[in-house]
Amino acid sequence: MLFGLIPRHRHERAGFMLYGAAVRAARDSALYTTFGVPDTLDGRFDLIGLHAFLLIRRLRRLPPPGPALAQAVFDAMFSDMDINLRELGVGDLAVGKRVRVMWEAFHGRCAAYEAAMQEGDPATLAAALARNIWRGEAAGGAPDLARLAFAQDRHLAGQPLSRLATGEASFLPMTSAGPITELAP
């Protein structure tokens, strides 16, 4: 086989497939139109990060190979960020620095989101989402996005490791998530 077509790690292929599911969920146009998430590079990064966080959170709570799959999703995310920066014309010398900044931002967001999820508090999660996604601007959609995140977390919790290990994950599309008021944790 050609170099580059052979997975370097046992779960690399599944990690990329799972990450792809998170990206597809983050591209749901209702997140931008209904919730008012800024349709910018930063807004898209934040929604991808939120969905990747939820998926990684699910995988880390599972028995092996769950944690290894979680790492594979993380690796896929930042490999994709590296590629996207290069496609945007960021020079080779700056890519590493930018990816590190993105990694640090993602890590900080995950810590804030995890704390809110563990508390089971949509208001705390909404405040973290408002800070990170809307960057201090009007964040009227943050409470609804927080409720959706809790609903996504419950939805992911129902997906078995056997399915996730093959790279298959599903997120609730906004059309099937129901009215925002029904998304309460």
Q: What are phi and psi of 89, to 5 degrees?
A: 95, 10
pLDDT digits (tens, 9 = 90+) for 64-101: 999 999 999 999 999 998 888 888 887 777 878 887 88
Within a domain: 6? no
* Residue 51 in domain: yes
Q: Which residues fall within 8 angstroms of residue 163, CB to CB, at 6 or more apart?
A: 169
Residue 7 in any domain: the answer is no
Residue 2: how many CB atoms within 10 A of its CB? 5
Instruction: Write 40-49 long-range contacts (CB < 8 A, 24+).
Output: 42/135, 43/133, 45/81, 45/102, 45/105, 46/109, 46/132, 46/133, 47/133, 48/22, 48/23, 48/77, 49/77, 49/105, 49/106, 49/109, 49/110
Residue 70 falls inside a structural domain: yes
For range 156-165, the mean pLDDT: 97
pTM value > 0.95: no
Residue 92: count of CB within 10 angstroms of its CB? 8
3-class DSSP state for residue 184? coil
Q: For 11-32, how does the pLDDT look when each residue is reduced to its tens digit (9 = 90+)?
A: 999 999 999 999 999 999 999 9
φ/ψ of 158, rounded to 5, equals: -85, 0
In a domain, 135, yes or no: yes
Residue 162: domain span: 12-183
Assigned domain for 66 exists: yes
Overall number of domains in the chain: 1
Dihedral (Cα; 92, 94, 96, 99), 10-degree rounding: -120
CA torsion angle for 136, 31, 157, 182 (degrees, to 10)? 100
Q: What are the Cα distances from residue 59, in Å, to 40, 90, 139, 152, 164?
A: 28, 32, 29, 14, 8
- Give the pLDDT confidence score for residue 2 in this predicted structure: 40
3 assigned to some structural domain: no
In a domain, 116, yes or no: yes
- Flag whether pLDDT at 8 surpasses 90: no
